[in-house]
Chains A and B, each alone.
Chain A
Amino acid sequence: MKNIFYLALSILMTFLCALVLPVHAQSTGALAGRVIDSHSGEPLPGVNVTLSSTVLGAATDADGRFTIQRIPAGIYTARVTMIGYKHTEQHVTIQPNQTTNVDIQLQETVLETPEVMITANKRRQSIQESPNSVGVLTRRDFEQKNEIYLDKLLQYASGVNFVGTQVNIRGSSGFNYGAGSRVMFLIDGVPVMPGDSGDIKWDLIPATQIERVEIVKGAGSALYGSSALGGVINVITKKASSRPSTHLRVATGIYDQPRYAEWQWSSRMRNFTDIDIDHTRQLGDKSEILLAAGQHKSMGYIQNTEYLRHNASFKWNYRPTGTHNLTISLNYEGGDRETSLMWRSQRQALQVNPIALGDYVESQKYGATLFHQWVLRKNFRLQSRFSLFNNYWKNWYHDNITASTANKPGYEIQGDWQLAEKNSLIFGTEGSWDFVNSGLVGEHSQYILAGFIQNEFKVITNVNLTLGLRYDYQYVDNGFNDSQWSPKVGLVWLAQNYLRFRASSGQGFRVASMSERFPEGLYSGLTIIPNPFLKSETAWSHEIGMNINPSTFFYLDIAGFWNDYWDMIEPKPDENQVIQFINVTRARIAGVETMLKILPVKNLGFDIGYTWMDPYDIELDTTLAYRPRHILTTAITYKFKQLELGVDFRFVSKFERVEVYPKDDRVDQHVLNARAAYSFGLLTLGLNINNVFNYNYTQMERTLLPIRHYVVTLSSKF
């Protein structure tokens, strides 16, 4: 305990020192300029301009102009980025007490993916430099598909599918309702999975607050630790900007009637409404703020699934000097949601058992993060992050009431050292504590402390090697402790300007969640008993891949993967039907994933993603439960002046094996969505028809996925 205290103290001291260290008086200058579209010559508002080796940056105003003040004299690289445009870099020299002026032209991109900058390896780099497969969804994807729920949009990412609320990357998770996730979920690099259930809370942040989502595929514990067994989803939220801007989005919609008369259960039109607003502006000359709020409500298309939820966010960015940047973020999400565990019968698929009428859950989540960046030298920066995530829920299930409170404080300190132009070293320490008081698992706590190091360097011309290693130590309050070494190796070979090859191997692990280790009692009429000494499950992921990008009209990425899993934690009933989570499954999932983006004619784009996998349960010599063999996603988008039209199609082959109700009917998933958007002035009007063919399917057994529904959206940026 003493050791933990001193460790916490030293971390805090490091952080305080970083804030209060005297800033050397330096001669400073300024950088100003204008960014325009290279084709039309029109000014571009909202372009991000950042300076290398500093924490300084600015966004362009309505005339495309920007100014960055108080830059220490020297030579810098100005990086200019905007979604939908090819990023560019320009060398600039800052003279003392002078303003350096630059004019920058950005070229519009038709294919966004090759241009995206990602932070999947805990440092900013091009997506093409990553040795792992990384999928990216940008703000433009959310706006284009007119979607505000992150989990719904992720279903259109290559290699991703859902079973209920449980996300699978290349078939990693299967289905393990409310008890742990094999995919790590981060918001701005902060793990936000509560200690009790260890699952992902998708509603914590509305998509209107998201700048970009990075989906790292394969085991990623060498950098991210526990839960990064099948992959990592990192949500990068909108930054506070110095350019005053307000974004309002109002969406409303209705569900159509079910396809079959037997399934009709309500004479009322089932509707839903989402309202989101955010505002960002400069505050003084050293800081910016972002405020956001939203209300989301729905009557639900299934009986007993009404909800009313609210969210609010606050972000304050403060730059006392060109070498220090402090960001404070606060997030809240809460409200009530009726719950429906399963249908009444396939005859009454949109109704619940009468005994379940009135079941609901009341929940609140809070997240707070303090993030500090300190550029100590031109080639070395230190990042410190302190966070707290609180998750509270109270569940009314038939006549039982259960409540849970989970707190997760955490920290991370990371050094980022650019040893040479093609040699970067990152290293750091990370820790998190879980304090849980729950009717499901009792009162428990655990902590995980870790250290990590990763070096990316040039081996020979055009070949970069990545070596990484992380050590995690876990201690649970019942005396159980465990440790894991997670190595990683990756290789990227730029064979031609348009052709890249990559290969990687890495280990992943996941510690058991509290709801797997300590559950006790009666749930849905079944007895569950604890397994206090449950081991971590582990995985090795291997991948080789290539991407071809010969022109701005064609992008192809192909990857082959081989993932081995050991000691997978599954709930198993004994001969008395008493359920206990145990380390049981040894599995292997191998497959191929492709992603193709083409523009056969101007303004008409096709996106096609296809994943084939062979999910094999070695222990039982059969197919792994809840995994499809084929996932196909396609999107066609056509833009004509202010009008944008599109269709999105998703196919997921039916699960060959399920565990809870294996005798139930199962079908493939075929879902077609259509969308149209028209922009006039500051307004954009959107119309979506989702599940156009009113196709009926399930992911989790006995829960019908949304029937056809219509959405009208009005959004404005001013």
Chain B
Amino acid sequence: MLKKLILLCFFPLLIFFCDVPTGLKPTQSGIAGTVFFKNEWPKQTDEVMVVAATVFPPTSLEDIIMSEPLDTFVDSANYVIWTNPEAFAAVGVVWKEKEQPWEVTNIIGIYFPTDDKFTPGSVTIPDRNTLVDSINIEADLSVARRKVDSVIEGTLTLTDEWWDGAEYVLVIAAKTILNPGLLDLTFGFPMEANFDTTTYSLPVQPGTYVAIGAIVTEKGQPIGTESIKGFYKKKASDRLPTIVKIPTDTTRISNIDITIDYDFRFP
């Protein structure tokens, strides 16, 4: 009897006295800060979250980690994103409209550590015990994009060949070109940089857009004004981009064709 009991207990005891693994543990590292909201909260606000993206702009859900929904209709809200050590290219605030899907491009705020409002600040979590705090973000509720049927559409054409490192192409619509920030731009979804000619369709809010252009992201490089590689111009000889007006939320403007040129420089 004793022998059998010892034999029976042998296996669990063996496991017990070995280094018994504990499995998953609570995350101790992450990103924290405060979001300061400016301008009026849109009535159609459903949720607002802070999103950390390993690449900017994010091209899939795998590139991002989201916080819990923040308090809405408040002046400021604290947030924490608990996550493992990683380098994030950008941390931003995303707005979601009621009864509409999440769009990670519906950004109302981005963490900028300097006065350069075109280059998002990167955040690195060095180890599993560090909570990187004070990543404060100003969110502008006036740039929240509600669902509209108004679009700008056209073609994108490459003049020469894709250059090394070219990764994604994003169509942008800008309301200003004088020292523009990322929040002054409406972004389209990233398209892989592997076409000679392709069509695009960019949903935009009603308003006046002083430039419709194309940004080409390069692998491992942050976005800057030098990433802009073409504007829509009515005549090829025009030096400045052509203004496009969207009077209503059902306006559809076609033939806004853009040429992508590696040698293009932002004026």
Contact = CB atoms under 8 A, between A and B. Distances in A.
A526 B101 contact: yes
A575 B69 contact: no
B60 A577 contact: yes
Contacts of B250: none
A348 B35 CA distance: 22
B116 interface: no
A90 interface: no
Given A649-B15, A662-B62, A670-B21, A525 B101 contact: yes
B43 interface: no
Interface string B165-195: 0000000000000000000000001110000
Given A346-B82, A525-B102, A263 B26 contact: yes
Contacts of A674: 12
Q: Residue among B16, B26, B65 with the most chain A CB within 10 A?
A: B26
Interface in A592-627: 600-601, 603-604
Interface in B1-60: 1, 3-5, 7-8, 11-12, 15-16, 20-28, 30, 47, 59-60
B7 A576 contact: no
Contacts of B83: 663
B204 to A, nearest CB: 15
B68 interface: yes
A698 B24 contact: yes
B82 A695 contact: no
Contacts of A649: 11-12, 15
Interface in A614-672: 634, 636, 638, 640, 645, 647, 649, 662-663, 665, 667-668, 670, 672
A213 B67 CA distance: 44
Interface residues of B, number: 43
B217 to A, nearest CB: 14
A695 B22 contact: yes
A439 to B, nearest CB: 14
B167 to A, nearest CB: 13
Nearest to A634: B11
A347 B12 contact: no
B96 interface: yes
Nearest to B168: A575
A636 B10 CA distance: 10
Interface in A667-718: 667-668, 670, 672, 674, 692-698, 704
Nearest to B16: A693
B4 A640 contact: yes
Contacts of B21: 667-668, 670, 695
B27 A347 contact: yes
A649 B15 CA distance: 10
A260 B12 contact: no
Interface stretch (A171-179, A349-357, A440-448): A349-357
B225 interface: no
Nearest to A347: B82
Contacts of A349: 24, 26
B4 A603 contact: yes
A640 B60 CA distance: 59
A577 B102 CA distance: 9
B99 interface: yes
Contact of B5 (A577, A634, A638, A670): A638
Interface in A414-441: none
B62 A663 contact: yes
B8 A604 contact: yes
A353 to B, nearest CB: 6
Given A525-B96, A604-B4, A638-B4, A259 B22 contact: yes
B4 A346 contact: no
Contacts of A667: 21, 23-24
Interface in A333-364: 344-349, 353-355
A525 B27 CA distance: 25
B226 interface: no
A262 interface: yes
Q: Residue among B4, B65, B100, B191 with the most chain A CB within 10 A?
A: B4
Contact of B189 (A354, A525, A575, A698): A575
A263 B100 CA distance: 33
A601 B189 contact: no
A550 interface: no
Contacts of A353: 68-69
A573 interface: yes
A603 to B, nearest CB: 7
Contacts of B22: 259, 693-696
Contact of A344 (B25, B68, B101, B189): B68
Contacts of B4: 601, 603-604, 638, 640
Contacts of B84: 663, 665
A647 B101 contact: no
B191 to A, nearest CB: 7
A700 to B, nearest CB: 13
A262 B27 CA distance: 9
Contacts of B101: 522, 525-527, 577
Nearest to A669: B23
Contact of B68 (A263, A354, A698): A354
A696 B24 CA distance: 5
A353 B69 CA distance: 8
Contacts of A695: 20-23
B27 A346 contact: yes
Contacts of B236: none
Nearest to B201: A576
B86 interface: yes
Contacts of A634: 11
Interface in B57-95: 59-62, 65, 68-69, 80, 82-84, 86
B189 A696 contact: no
Interface string A263-278: 1000000000000000
B189 to A, nearest CB: 5
A516 B12 CA distance: 44
A6 to B, nearest CB: 48
B114 to A, nearest CB: 28
A693 B26 contact: no
A672 B27 contact: no
Contact of A347 (B1, B26, B61, B65): B26
A526 B60 CA distance: 12
A697 B24 contact: yes
Contacts of A347: 26-28, 30, 80, 82
Contact of A355 (B7, B30, B69): B69
A649 B16 CA distance: 12
A601 B7 contact: yes
A647 B8 CA distance: 8
B190 A575 contact: yes
Contacts of A527: 101
Nearest to A639: B4
Contacts of A345: 27, 68, 82
Contacts of B191: 575
B135 to A, nearest CB: 16
Contacts of B15: 649, 672, 693
A649 B7 CA distance: 16
A322 to B, nearest CB: 49
B12 A573 contact: no
Contact of B61 (A262, A348, A355, A577): A577
Contacts of B12: 647, 649, 672, 674, 692
Would you list the 9 A-B pairs with minimal beta carbon distance, nearest first?
A696-B23, A525-B102, A262-B26, A347-B82, A346-B27, A345-B82, A696-B24, A527-B101, A638-B8
11 contacts: A259-B22, A262-B26, A344-B68, A347-B26, A355-B69, A525-B102, A575-B191, A577-B61, A577-B101, A663-B62, A663-B83
Given A663-B84, A698-B24, 5 more contacts: A347-B26, A348-B26, A604-B7, A645-B8, A697-B23
